[in-house]
Amino acid sequence: MAKRAEKTERTRRDIETALVRLLAIKAYDAVSMADIAEQADVAVRTVQRHFRSKDDVLAAAVRHPAQALSRELSQRPPGQSPHDDLQSLAASLFAIYERYRRETWALYTHSAEVPELMRVQFVAGAAMVSAVEALLARWSDRCAIDPLLAKRAILALTSYPTWRGLAGVGGFASPDAESLVAGLLYDLIFEPTQRP
Would you kindly state where each structural domain of the chain is located, as residue ranges?
1-51, 61-189
- What predicted TM-score, i.e. pTM, was given to this entire model? 0.79
- The stretch 129-157 carries a mean pLDDT of 95
Q: Which residue has the higher pLDDT, 179 or 70?
A: 179
- The stretch 180-184 carries a mean pLDDT of 95
Q: Express as a percent the part of the chain with pLDDT over 90.
A: 46
**Helix, strand, coil percent content, the chain, rounded in steps of 5:** 75, 0, 25
Q: Which of 14, 118, 8 is nearest to 63 (CA)?
A: 118
Give the Cα separation of 54 and 47 in Å (integer): 9
Question: Which residues, 6+ apart, have CB-to-CB distance to 2 below 8 Å?
Answer: none
Residue 196 pLDDT class (50, 70, 90 cuts): very low
The CATH architecture annotation of domain 1-51 reads Orthogonal Bundle (1.10)
Q: How far apart are the first and last CA of the chain?
A: 69
Residue 32 pLDDT class (50, 70, 90 cuts): very high
77-126 confidence digits (pLDDT tens): 888 999 999 999 999 999 988 888 888 888 778 777 777 778 778 888 88
Q: What is the pLDDT of residue 39?
A: 93
Indicate the fold that domain 61-189 takes in CATH: Tetracycline Repressor; domain 2 (1.10.357)
Own/partner pairs, 76-81, CB within 8 angstroms, 24+ separation? 76/131, 78/134, 78/135, 78/138
